[in-house]
Amino acid sequence: MLPTPYAVGPVNVYLIMGAEPTLIDAGPATREGVEALRAGLAAAGLGPGDVRRVIVTHAHPDHYGGLALLGDEGRWEVAAHPRALLWMSGDPGMLDARVAFYVRFLEQAGVPASLLRTMERESLGLRSYPRGIALHRFLGEGERVKAGDGELVVRYTPGHASSAICLERTSDRLLFSGDALLGRISSNALVEPVGAWTGDRRASLPEYVRTLHRLRSLEVDLVLPGHGDPFPDHRALVDERLAFYRARRDHVLALLGGGPATVYDLCRSLFPGLERDQLFLGLSETVGYLDLLEEQGLVGHTMSEGVLRYHRQAGRTLSPSARAG
Ligand SMILES: [Zn+2]
């Protein structure tokens, strides 16, 4: 467990010992994080140079940032889903495109101009993301990757991040879940593009709901998450999360009973008193419920002056299957 400067609290890094010592994630790019990582390795009689492979569960800075500080010491292979390149690449053009992508999202969400300018000035925290980290191997669904003395099967689990993978160890029915399934907190399905940063937004929450159903079907006994303690009975937790998203989705539909609204309006109603530094997360979550409702044909949107307005589709109600979904 490594400390992070983020609201989520400490992050878990797993070391799998054996012929090919393997790390799952590397913690944040902070001195404290890297010291804790070194101490953890030392307790196992290893130094960074002994680690054969680092598998990154998803390209969020609390999970891969440590690689930026330890880069020269490690002789490891860094393995991640190809989508991780969108965050970990050192291409400065990609960074500008990323900021532009999120500014466009905020504009279309109806964030007031003055607030938007402030958020843009702060670059949404995006410019501080560690990058320029070499990826040596791309991992995709079903691939097998050696770890310690055994191997892990890659499960592609997009939603929280488009680069998210879980790692299943079938020999003892373990699942390293990254942030795709956490015991204590529901994972935010964050706004990301379909392809490159210049493209359209992907529907992250519907994608994540499909991932949850997929995770539910896995035959595992224990989940080792990216944050918090390991937990059994992942199916009960998946059901809890699905019920949570359904309830909030229905809440957003009810809010739209008051007439058309922007993502920003709905976010303010859904999360009153949200601080500015949490606003992006709130907007990301709100648009996710709208995506779910649009997929079910319950909600539509129009665009005027660069701002999206969502409305209820007349005469449509939640079908029994949508309720169960
Ligand atoms: Zn994450």
CA of 204 to the centre of ligand 1 (A): 13
Listed residue (120, 138, 193, 183) closest to 161, CA to CA: 193
| CA distances for 303 relative to 97, 107, 143, 287, angstroms | 22, 11, 41, 15
Mean pLDDT, rounded, for 311-322:
72
Give the percent of the chain with pLDDT over 70.
96
User: CA end-to-end span of the chain, whole Å?
Assistant: 35
Mean pLDDT, rounded, for 74-88:
94
Predicted pLDDT at 129: 83
Predicted pLDDT at 32: 95
CA of 305 to the centre of ligand 1 (A): 33
CA of 174 to the centre of ligand 1 (A): 20
Across the chain, what does the average pLDDT equal?
A: 93
Predicted pLDDT at 294: 97
Give the percent of the chain with pLDDT over 90.
82
Predicted pLDDT at 95: 87
Write down the CATH superfamily of domain 14-89+128-234: Ribonuclease Z/Hydroxyacylglutathione hydrolase-like (3.60.15.10)
300: its two tokens: 């539509």
Predicted pLDDT at 90: 86
Predicted pLDDT at 121: 83
pLDDT tens digits, one per residue of 140-176:
999 999 999 999 999 999 999 999 999 999 999 999 9
CA of 30 to the centre of ligand 1 (A): 16
Domain 239-324: top CATH class:
mainly alpha
CA-to-CA distance for 192 and 81, rounded, in angstroms? 15
| CA distances for 305 relative to 201, 258, 318, angstroms | 18, 22, 31
CA of 153 to the centre of ligand 1 (A): 20
CA of 157 to the centre of ligand 1 (A): 12
Q: Ranked by mean pLDDT, which of 67-71, 84-88, 274-278 comes out on top?
A: 84-88
CA of 61 to the centre of ligand 1 (A): 8
Q: Is the dihedral of CA 167, 42, 12, 5 positive or negative?
A: negative
Mean pLDDT, rounded, for 215-243:
98
CA of 57 to the centre of ligand 1 (A): 9
CA of 161 to the centre of ligand 1 (A): 7
pLDDT value at 73 more than 90: no
* Confidence band of 61 (pLDDT split at 50, 70, 90): very high
CB-based contact 36:26 (threshold 8 Å): no
143: its two tokens: 């691939």
CA of 178 to the centre of ligand 1 (A): 7
Mean pLDDT, rounded, for 95-100:
90
**Extents of the domains making up the chain:** 14-89+128-234, 239-324
pLDDT value at 317 more than 80: no
Mean pLDDT, rounded, for 63-88:
92
CA-to-CA distance for 63 and 43, rounded, in angstroms? 21
CA of 10 to the centre of ligand 1 (A): 12
Q: How many CB atoms lie within 10 A of CB 72?
A: 7
| pTM for the model | 0.94
CA of 258 to the centre of ligand 1 (A): 34
CA of 295 to the centre of ligand 1 (A): 25
Which helix or strand (DSSP H or E) is residue 43 part of? helix 31-43
Listed residue (283, 246, 243) closest to 263, CA to CA: 283
